[in-house]
Amino acid sequence: MMINKRHGRLAAVAVAMAATLAATAACGGSDAPATTDGTKAADEKITLTLQTFGGGTNFGYKAAVEKWNQEHPNVQVKYNNLTPDFENQYWPQMLNWLQAGKGAGDVIGIDEGGMGLAKARPQFFTDLSQYGLDSRKADFPAWKWENGVNTEGKLFALGTDVGGMAVAYRKDLFKKAGLPTDREEVAKLWSTWDDFIATGKKFQEKVKDVKFVDGLNTWFNVVLSQEAAKNGNVSYYDKENKLIVDTNPAVKSAFDFASKVNEAGISAKLRNFQDPWTAGMKKGAFATMGAPGWMLGVIQGNITENGEKPDQGKGQWDVAAVPGGSGNWGGSWLAVPKQSQHPKEAAELASYLTSPEAQLLAFKEGGNLPSTIPAQDSPELQGAVNDWFSGAPLGEIFGPSIKTLPPIFLGEKHSQTKTEVENVVLGMDDGSIPADQAWQKFIDEAKKVAEG
């Protein structure tokens, strides 16, 4: 009868639905149950997720991870670089996952700007000293080590790289503008930042379709890191976590420099770490870029499309000394979130990736300057030459200053503040904020975050 047929169909629907729900439940529960002590039988194969951020070659861990995976067949590492943008994307998402207890990798990268908050939230991270990583202390300069110790006095993060500072420039474009292309002579063009802008104007007179700098924000950060070192090693916050954007001369100097670049009309008005900036780098939309060590990997990685076409653009770029002396922009740490199901192996991985050996691999891959003393002293670093950057002697450029880089204090809310004030710098760049109102807005936005 009809009814039976219909009921048959009903049953089919019900079965289908139950099956879907079951599949759902299975997918939902696919995270293996956590083992309480994190130990596993020796022959059991586990996978660790390594999450990082940054453009181009980012942390430069490709070779290091490959090596680890070869040597540890039972502890395989998945290297997942999530986004180029730390403040806007990576860190807020990571904080969500840390709070939710799910989503963060077994080992995660944290930029200097996030360390203030990470230190103040011990509940998020595994105490690395319980896996004997206290023994690494002698490898690191004191400030890099101390920043990895949280407010409870526990070691939770190990240093990866440090900033350093130079200028990367396009030789072919400099030639087009009638400027010298040799790195020694280029450095002589800009012994001060005013000279740098003057050079930019000269460049712009000759070359119309390409701008001298990428955008205001990169250079704002270059100058800020230099000036902070001259003003008590503080940036947006003082060491009591009080907002000082309106009183710290370093911030105002950096802002004023950005304004001058803006007035000079030499900016390509691209926002660093966003798509058009990356595309502009590939197409050659600007001639210079402020370059801490890791930025070299961003440039090379973006142009060579993550190392898939290793010779693309080779010999176009070179690296010269920066005006205004050494600075320390960027530099990161690796931490093991408490939610990791394999904290012991994760701690081992973090220790391996921050070892002098792996740091030198990362340096070779992405220019990330090592933070461990043995790696800094090594001939591999001090004598390093980068072929892709026209044979630039990176060891000579970064080597002398690398051990004396100033540790800059960044407050708990540094990352959130940075997002907002940089938006003002970018707004000045793209014209959505009038230049004469920008400084006031800069301070207002910072205050909103600090008070919020």
Partner 1 sequence: MTTIAQTRQRANDRANRRRDPFRATPLTKAALLFAILLSVFPIYWMIVIASRTTSQAVDTPPPLLPGGNLGENIARVFATEDAHFITGLTNSLIVTSTVTLSVVLISTLAGFAFARLRFRGRKLLLGSILLTMMVPIQQMGIVPLYQLMVNLGWTGTLQAVILPFLLNGFGVFMMTQYTEQAVPHELVEAARVDGATTMRIYWNVILPAVRPGMAVLALQVFMLNWNEFMWPLIVLTPENPTVQVSIAFLTGQHTADYALIFTGTALSVLPLLIVFIAFGRQIVGGLMEGAVKA
Partner 2 sequence: MSLHVDTDRTGRAPAPPRGSRHGRRGSKGRRERTGRFDLRVTPYLLISPYFLLFAVFGIFPLGFTLWVSLQKYELAGDAEFAGLDNYIKLMSDGDFWNAVVNTVGIFILSTVPQLILALLLANALNKRIRGRLFFRLGVLIPLITSVVAVAVVFTQLYGRDYGMINWVLNLVGIDNIAWQNEKWSSWLAIATMVDWRWTGYNAIIYLAAMQTIGRDLYEAASIDGATPRRQFWQITLPMLRPTIIFTVFVSTIGGLTLFAEPVLFNNGTMTGGSNGQFQTVAMYIVEQGFRRFEYGYAATVAWMLFVLILIGVLINYALVRRIGGGSR
Using CA atoms, how far apart are residues 298 and 278, in angstroms rounded to an integer? 9
Q: Does 242 bind partner 1 (CB under 8 A)?
A: no
Among 8, 383, 400, 431, binds partner 2 (CB under 8 A): 431
Q: Does 338 bind partner 1 (CB under 8 A)?
A: no
Name which of partner 2, partner 1, none residue 345 binds, using a CB cut-off of 5 to 8 Å depending on partner kind.
Answer: none
Q: Does 15 bind partner 1 (CB under 8 A)?
A: no
Q: Of 98-117, which residues contact partner 1 (CB under 8 A)? A: 99-103
Q: Between residues 87 and 445, which has the closer beta carbon with respect to partner 1?
A: 87
Residues 208-234: b if buried by 16+ CB within 10 A, e if exposed: eebbbbbbbbbbbbbbbbbbbbebbbb
Can you say whether the dihedral through the CA atoms of 356, 359, 364, 369 is positive or negative? negative
Q: Are strands 211-213 and 46-52 parallel, antiparallel or unpaired?
A: unpaired
- Residues linked to residue 211 through DSSP beta bridges, in sequence order: 286
Query: CB-side exposure of 202: number of CA atoms within 13 Å?
Result: 15
Taking CB under 8 A as the binding criterion, the range among 54-62, 311-319, 371-379, 428-436 that sits at the site for partner 2 is: 428-436
Using CA atoms, how far apart are residues 338 and 102, in angstroms rounded to an integer? 10
Using CA atoms, how far apart are residues 253 and 394, in angstroms rounded to an integer? 28
Q: Of 56-115, which residues contact partner 2 (CB under 8 A)? A: 83, 85, 88-89, 92, 95-96, 98-99
Q: Does 82 bind partner 1 (CB under 8 A)?
A: yes
Among 243, 426, 443, 446, binds partner 2 (CB under 8 A): 426
CB of 55 to partner 1, least distance (A): 6
Among 134, 275, 305, 387, binds partner 2 (CB under 8 A): 275
Name which of partner 2, partner 1, none residue 416 binds, using a CB cut-off of 5 to 8 Å depending on partner kind.
Answer: partner 2
Name which of partner 2, partner 1, none residue 431 binds, using a CB cut-off of 5 to 8 Å depending on partner kind.
Answer: partner 2
Using CA atoms, how far apart are residues 236 and 234, in angstroms rounded to an integer? 7
CB of 423 to partner 2, least distance (A): 5
In order of 52, 82, 101, 229, the CA distances from 79 in angstroms are 8, 9, 20, 34
Helix H or strand E segment including 429: helix 414-430
Displacement of CA 334 from its chain's centroid (Å)? 12
CB of 435 to partner 2, least distance (A): 13
Size of the site for partner 2 (CB under 8 A): 36
Among 48, 50, 117, 405, binds partner 2 (CB under 8 A): 117
Neighbours of 60 (CB within 10 A): 27
Residue with tokens 């970018």: 426
Q: Are strands 369-370 and 161-162 parallel, antiparallel or unpaired?
A: antiparallel
Q: Of 370-429, which residues contact partner 1 (CB under 8 A)? A: none
Displacement of CA 424 from its chain's centroid (Å)? 21
Residue with tokens 């293996």: 32
Taking CB under 8 A as the binding criterion, the range among 9-17, 147-155, 357-365, 416-424 that sits at the site for partner 1 is: 9-17
The residues that touch partner 1, with contacts defined as CB under 8 A, are 2-3, 6-7, 10, 13, 16-17, 20-21, 23-25, 27-31, 49, 55, 78-85, 89, 96-97, 99-103, 273-279, 282-283, 302, 305-306
The residues that touch partner 2, with contacts defined as CB under 8 A, are 83, 85, 88-89, 92, 95-96, 98-99, 117, 121, 269, 271, 274-276, 279-280, 283, 285, 412-413, 416, 419, 423-424, 426-427, 429-433, 448-449, 452
